[in-house]
Structure 1
Amino acid sequence: MKYEGIVKAIFIERPNRFIALCKVNQEICKVHVKNTGRCAELLIKGVTVYLQESEDPKRKTKYSLIAVEKGNRLINMDSQAPNEVVEEALASGKLKLPGMEEGLTFIKREVTYDASRFDFYVETYEKKGFVEVKGVTLEQDGYVMFPDAPTERGLRHVEELIKAKQEGYECYVVFVIQMKDVLYFKPHVERQKAFAEALKRADKLGVRLLAYDCLVTPDTLELDHSVQVQLEEV
């Protein structure tokens, strides 16, 4: 995916989860944060960030926060972006789902199943499945984790993917790592043990857990290579 109107800025502070203050060309601007997670390890005063300028004159904020530099690493933190890059990769065939390698014949976003709405419903000529996408921005010592804050919604998604798998659907959780050059992915046990345990249970019952890193520039994001999912510590 490609962003238009990207500008470089300096992060100052985040008064609440929706708004940040950034310095753009020596002017302090209110910026919309497109990620309601904590992101405390990313949004540190003085770091370089990349903003997308809006062309809508009616918007309360002129910019949206898209990416942030963490040392030598550029991390996209747009929470809407993972679904976009997964849809692109599914449609192009770059992302081949295990068990559905013969190729998808139908892809639909935002499909309700039981009490959840999964990100994608997919079909081949013979199989049907659900795909839930989770964006990953939390990195520590080269490995990445999810979630960065407890997520009851995410936990419910995993539990209902297990149910759908038992009813005959192919089911997947795709962790989109919004950065490059990481060692492996693992659930954040310390932040939400119940989610980590649910992932391990889902894996044993046939839900496929996939993780992919991304090629990131200030104005692009593209799904790239498969990354190892490590569950042993759960």
Structure 2
Amino acid sequence: MKYNAITPATFISRPNRFIAIVKVDGKELAVHVKNTGRCRELLLPGAKVYMEKAANPERKTPYDLVAVEKDGKIINIDSQAPNIVVKEWLLSQKKYDLVKPEHKYGDSRIDFYMEKGDEKYLMEVKGCTLFVDGVGYFPDAPTERGAKHLRELTHSIEEGYKPVIAFVIQGEGIEEVRPNTATDPEFAKAFEEAVAAGVKVLFLQCKVTEDSLKVDSESWKK
């Protein structure tokens, strides 16, 4: 996926989870943050950030903050990007007879439903932006929906589905993602139970630039 009209800026502060104050051309400006997670280790005063011009010229926040630079590397923090790049990747694989986004299953909407012959797949997508000592961790803030989706995937095995949780790694140089037990023990518990039951875990490593995000390689949790 590619963004349009990317503008660099300097991060100043984040008064709430939706808004950031940045400096552009010497002026302070309020912009929309396309990530409701904490991003505390990324959105630090003085950090270089990248913004996309909003499609609606009348919007109060004229830009969307989509990426940030840390230690010389760009990390995409757009929470909408993972589903877009996974759809692009799934279609490019030409592995499935059917790829359907936003599939209703149980009490949830699972990100993707796929078919290959008689086989039925469910795939839930999670974007990872929290990296510690070369390892990705999810989530960076508590998420009740995350644990719920994992339980739905676990239950689907009994109904003949082949469920997958896919972690889109939104920064380069990270190969795997682990549950962030300290931040969300409920998600970690649901994750371990899902893996034990047979839910497959897919890591999608990405090529990241200030104006693009693309799946570059894949690996499976052993």
TM-score range with shorter-chain normalisation? over 0.9
Q: For the residues of structure 2 that align with 1:23 and 1:70, how far apart are their CA atoms?
A: 17
**1:107–1:120 contact (8 Å) kept in structure 2:** yes
Q: For the residues of structure 1 that align with 2:148 and 2:169, how far apart are their CA atoms?
A: 21
**Are 1:85 and 2:85 an aligned pair?**
yes
Q: Which has the higher strand share?
A: 2
| Distance of aligned partners of 1:73 and 1:228 in 2 relative to their CA distance in 1, 3 Å threshold | farther
Count of equivalent residues = 222
- Structure 1 residue aligned with 2:141: 149
**1:11–1:44 contact (8 Å) kept in structure 2:** yes
Q: For the residues of structure 1 that align with 2:186 and 2:157, how far apart are their CA atoms?
A: 20
Question: Is the partner of 1:82 in helix, strand or coil?
Answer: helix
**1:175–1:211 contact (8 Å) kept in structure 2:** yes
Question: Is the partner of 1:135 in helix, strand or coil?
Answer: strand
Which has the higher mean CA deviation after the structures are superposed, 205-214 or 43-52? 205-214
**1:5–1:54 contact (8 Å) kept in structure 2:** no
Q: CA deviation at 1:229?
A: 4.0
Q: CA deviation at 1:93?
A: 0.2
**1:134–1:176 contact (8 Å) kept in structure 2:** yes
Q: CA deviation at 1:121?
A: 1.0
- Structure 2 residue aligned with 1:97: none
1:47-86 Cα offsets, whole Å, 9 max, x none, are: 0000001242221110000100111221000000000000
- Structure 1 residue aligned with 2:155: 163
Q: For the residues of structure 2 that align with 1:228 and 1:123, how far apart are their CA atoms?
A: 20
Which amino acid letter does the alignment assign opposite residue 9 of structure 1? Answer: A
| Distance of aligned partners of 1:75 and 1:87 in 2 relative to their CA distance in 1, 3 Å threshold | same
**1:67–1:74 contact (8 Å) kept in structure 2:** yes
Q: For the residues of structure 1 that align with 2:15 and 2:54, how far apart are their CA atoms?
A: 21
**1:165–1:206 contact (8 Å) kept in structure 2:** yes
| Distance of aligned partners of 1:144 and 1:228 in 2 relative to their CA distance in 1, 3 Å threshold | farther
Unaligned runs of 5+ in 1: 95-102
- Structure 1 residue aligned with 2:127: 135
**Are 1:33 and 2:33 an aligned pair?**
yes
Which has the higher mean CA deviation after the structures are superposed, 173-182 or 193-202? 193-202
Which amino acid letter does the alignment assign opposite residue 127 of structure 1? Answer: E
Which amino acid letter does the alignment assign opposite residue 69 of structure 1? Answer: E
1:143-191 Cα offsets, whole Å, 9 max, x none, are: 1100101111000000010111111111110000101112532111111
Q: For the residues of structure 2 that align with 1:76 and 1:174, how far apart are their CA atoms?
A: 17
Displaced runs of 4 or more, over 6 A: none
**Are 1:16 and 2:16 an aligned pair?**
yes
Question: Is the partner of 1:164 in helix, strand or coil?
Answer: helix
- Structure 1 residue aligned with 2:203: 211
Question: Is the partner of 2:149 in helix, strand or coil?
Answer: helix
Q: For the residues of structure 2 that align with 1:29 and 1:124, how far apart are their CA atoms?
A: 49
Question: Is the partner of 2:195 in helix, strand or coil?
Answer: helix
Which has the higher mean CA deviation after the structures are superposed, 120-129 or 4-13? 120-129
Q: For the residues of structure 2 that align with 1:208 and 1:105, how far apart are their CA atoms?
A: 20
1:74-106 Cα offsets, whole Å, 9 max, x none, are: 100000000000000000008xxxxxxxx2011
Q: For the residues of structure 2 that align with 1:167 and 1:183, how far apart are their CA atoms?
A: 31
